[in-house]
Amino acid sequence: MIKKLSMHLGQYKKYVVLIPFLVFLDVLSELSIPLLMSRIVDVGIVNSDIGYIARIGLYMVLLACAAIFFGVLNMKYTSLASQGFGANLREALFSRVQEFSFNNIDRFSTASLVTRLTNDVNNLQFTFMMVLRMLLRAPMMLIIAFFLAFSINARLSIILAIAIPLLSVSVWLILSRAVKLFTPVQQKIDNLNRIVQENLIGIRVVKSFVREDHEKEKFREANDDYTQTAINAISLAILNMPVMMLVMNGATLAIIWFGGNMVYFGDLGAGELVSFISYVMQILFSVMMISMIFLLSARAQASGERVVEVLDTNIDIRDSDQPKVSMAGNASENKTGKGKVEFRNVSFKYNQSGSGEDVLTNISFAAKPGEVVAIIGGTGTGKSTLVNLIPRLYDVTEGAVLVDDVDVRDYELEKLRDLTGVVLQKNTLFSGSIRENILWGNHDASQEEIETACRDAQAYDFISSFPNGFDTELGQGGVNLSGGQKQRLCIARAMLKKPAILILDDSTSAVDTATEAKIRESFYRNLADTTVFIIAQRISSVRDADTIIVLDDGKISGMGTHQQLLESNEIYKEINLSQQEGVLVNE
């Protein structure tokens, strides 16, 4: 995991090499100070040599300045390295998520992805900074201070032989338990984020169902749950403090007791005793720091796993190694594509690995270029699933989908999606102006092309009725438009692409019938060369199609023109009957 994560150090690797040197110089200057102090006490003060005291004092000031200098430099580079690492990691995660197929996205919840990109990366970034700052410093401090203390007085160092193991073991016992408690904290944050996110996205629904109190209660529970879990972990980890103070003060006491005796008998200078105590403090503090690093690393491990899980996700829909049709190739013949679509014995289930039920079974049909194919059937019968297979938003489980006689899996994805314009059932607009949103379809479109697409989608009139016209700013998700207006903008956006295949998944459900008829009419007039797939609920929306496919429970129940189906298909007849004005449905 560390190897995978460290790949994202990128250009900041040089700091990681530089930092140990800075740490080493910092530690050396800092540890020399007590040594000089002991000289002042034992030589300067004992001999009342003001000149000596001033000279050594000056050295101490210089060393302190050096320690500060190296310390600050160390801080600067560790901050640079860790912030840079965090930025690289976030970017890698974000571009990974951009590559995700629909199937990949289904696996992670949005909230969890957000937590992983923010909180988990922050965790790793902070741990990395602490590790850079402390993991080198503490052992260096420990070893050098130990060496210096030992050189001052070997016998007195025996106290360390007791204090260090005592501190290590007790700190280890506390922290290893605390780490177990920290692991669920991350999941609780996920949960909290999920509730916040769902609530914010659906705030209008929450209000219309007067569910505010219920939502507040739900949030409070998750918040308390998170807080309690975090407090449990922290209150155990915090025990470290008194234990450390106890051991440190105990050690100081023992040193003063035994060392005091030595000073009394002239075996040890008073200054040496003072610097010995400083070193012991440094040593015990380093032990403490090392254990803190272990705690942080253990906490970060959970975050690291969650991050690596995203980075390692196998993206199941990718360009084939040798695409038969690519953006560059086939330019002469297949520039725009003809738009023939064929399904050959297609079966599909969402959970490819699991035993889940087939959502589509044995679908076979062919649509000629320029045809209008309508798909009708009850909700949940697999209409959306079927059309999603054409631009390869999902891959078939069995069989094959062919566009212009080439399996969609043999296309370069960019090429395939360039050929197809999709208006998804759950479509979204983005904040920005209306023009910006429509230009998603084709960045190079002229104003004239934009206007034509909007006229065809019956969006031109309402756009020009806005004071700012095409420059009207849309709120997040297009909140300041009506449902039908949003749908028409989405259609215009797809039409601007001038795709060979246009897919409209229930895209006029919120548009009134008269306007819908006009949109349909402009399809037949202006999109003669485009193969159009229309999913609709109303018979009126599909009756003029060249072919109508009736789906029932993932299977094709009937296929043909309006007249043919009226004569042969029970389901179609039933739908037709139920939608006829003024006719009462029996029973």
Ligand X SMILES: Nc1ncnc2c1ncn2[C@@H]1O[C@H](COP(=O)(O)OP(=O)(O)O)[C@@H](O)[C@H]1O
Element (H, E) at 423: strand 420-423
Binding part of the chain for ligand X, among 185-193, 293-301, 381-389, 462-470 by CB under 6 A, reads: 381-389
Residue 79 in 3-state DSSP? helix
Nearer to ligand X, 382 or 558 (CB): 382
CB of 309 to ligand X, least distance (A): 20
Q: Site residues for ligand X, window 112-131 (CB under 6 A)?
A: none
Binding part of the chain for ligand X, among 240-248, 378-386, 440-448, 461-469 by CB under 6 A, reads: 378-386
Residue 291 partner contact from Mg ion, ligand X, none using kind-dependent CB cut-offs of 5 to 8 Å? none
Binding part of the chain for ligand X, among 53-61, 309-317, 339-347, 382-390 by CB under 6 A, reads: 382-390
Residue 370 in 3-state DSSP? coil
**What DSSP line would sit under 518-575, residue for residue?**
HHHHHHHHH-TTSEEEEE-S-HHHHTTSSEEEEEETTEEEEEE-HHHHHHH-HHHHHH
Q: Site residues for Mg ion, window 362-401 (CB under 5 A)?
A: 384
Query: Whole-angstrom Cα distance, residue 466 to residue 478?
Result: 14
Residue 494 in 3-state DSSP? helix
Residue 508 in 3-state DSSP? coil
- Phi-psi label, residue 10: left if phi above 0, alpha if psi -120 to 50, beta otherwise: left
Residue 299 partner contact from Mg ion, ligand X, none using kind-dependent CB cut-offs of 5 to 8 Å? none
CB of 76 to Mg ion, least distance (A): 55
Query: Whole-angstrom Cα distance, residue 325 to residue 327?
Result: 7
Strand ranges of the sheet holding 398-403, from the earlier edge strand across to the other edge: 360-367, 341-348, 398-403, 406-407
Work out which of 133, 383, 493, 520 binds ligand X, going by CB under 6 A. Answer: 383
Nearer to ligand X, 183 or 397 (CB): 397
Binding part of the chain for ligand X, among 70-78, 226-234, 314-322, 373-381 by CB under 6 A, reads: 373-381
CB 124 within 8 A of CB 5: yes
Q: Site residues for ligand X, window 341-370 (CB under 6 A)?
A: 350, 359
CB 503 within 8 A of CB 420: yes
SS (HEC) of 146-162: HHHHHHHCCCCCHHHHH
Residue 382 partner contact from Mg ion, ligand X, none using kind-dependent CB cut-offs of 5 to 8 Å? ligand X
Helices (H), 202-239: 203-208, 212-237
What one-character DSSP code corresponds to residue 131? I
Q: How many helices (H) and strands (E) does the chain have?
A: 23, 12
Contact partners, residue 543, CB within 8 Å, separation at least 6? 562
Nearer to Mg ion, 186 or 384 (CB): 384
Burial (CB count within 10 angstroms: exposed 0-12, middle 13-18, buried 19+), residue 465: exposed
What one-character DSSP code corresponds to residue 377? -
b/e burial code for range 392-402 (CB count within 10 A of at least 16 → b): bbbbbbebbbb
CB of 429 to ligand X, least distance (A): 21
Nearer to ligand X, 376 or 481 (CB): 376
Query: Whole-angstrom Cα distance, residue 338 to residue 370?
Result: 8
Residue 379 binds to ligand X (criterion: CB under 6 A)? yes
Nearer to ligand X, 383 or 409 (CB): 383
Work out which of 301, 384, 530, 531 binds ligand X, going by CB under 6 A. Answer: 384
CB of 399 to ligand X, least distance (A): 17
Nearer to Mg ion, 380 or 475 (CB): 380
Residue with tokens 């012991």: 280
Work out which of 109, 118, 223, 425 binds Mg ion, going by CB under 5 A. Answer: 425
Element (H, E) at 504: strand 501-505
Residue 427 binds to Mg ion (criterion: CB under 5 A)? no
Nearer to ligand X, 472 or 537 (CB): 537
Q: Which residue is nearest to Mg ion (CB)?
A: 384
Residue 69 partner contact from ligand X, Mg ion, none using kind-dependent CB cut-offs of 5 to 8 Å? none
Binding mask 17-36 for ligand X (x = CB under 6 A): --------------------
CB of 382 to ligand X, least distance (A): 4
Burial (CB count within 10 angstroms: exposed 0-12, middle 13-18, buried 19+), residue 466: middle
CB of 436 to ligand X, least distance (A): 29
Burial (CB count within 10 angstroms: exposed 0-12, middle 13-18, buried 19+), residue 361: middle
CB of 247 to ligand X, least distance (A): 56
How many residues touch ligand X under the rule CB under 6 A: the total is 10
What one-character DSSP code corresponds to residue 445? -
CB 215 within 8 A of CB 203: no
Residue 385 binds to ligand X (criterion: CB under 6 A)? yes
Work out which of 101, 381, 458, 541 binds ligand X, going by CB under 6 A. Answer: 381
CB of 422 to ligand X, least distance (A): 13
Residue 380 partner contact from Mg ion, ligand X, none using kind-dependent CB cut-offs of 5 to 8 Å? ligand X
Residue 392 binds to ligand X (criterion: CB under 6 A)? no
Identity of residue 207: K
Nearer to ligand X, 506 or 516 (CB): 506
CB of 513 to ligand X, least distance (A): 21
Nearer to Mg ion, 247 or 556 (CB): 556
Query: Whole-angstrom Cα distance, residue 219 to residue 290?
Result: 37
CB of 138 to Mg ion, least distance (A): 59
Residue 350 partner contact from Mg ion, ligand X, none using kind-dependent CB cut-offs of 5 to 8 Å? ligand X
Query: Whole-angstrom Cα distance, residue 255 to residue 253?
Result: 5
CB of 408 to ligand X, least distance (A): 18
Query: Whole-angstrom Cα distance, residue 246 to residue 30?
Result: 25
Nearer to ligand X, 191 or 384 (CB): 384
Binding mask 83-112 for ligand X (x = CB under 6 A): -----------------------x------
Q: Site residues for ligand X, window 455-494 (CB under 6 A)?
A: none
**Contact set with ligand X (CB under 6 A):** 106, 350, 359, 379-385
**Contact set with Mg ion (CB under 5 A):** 384, 425
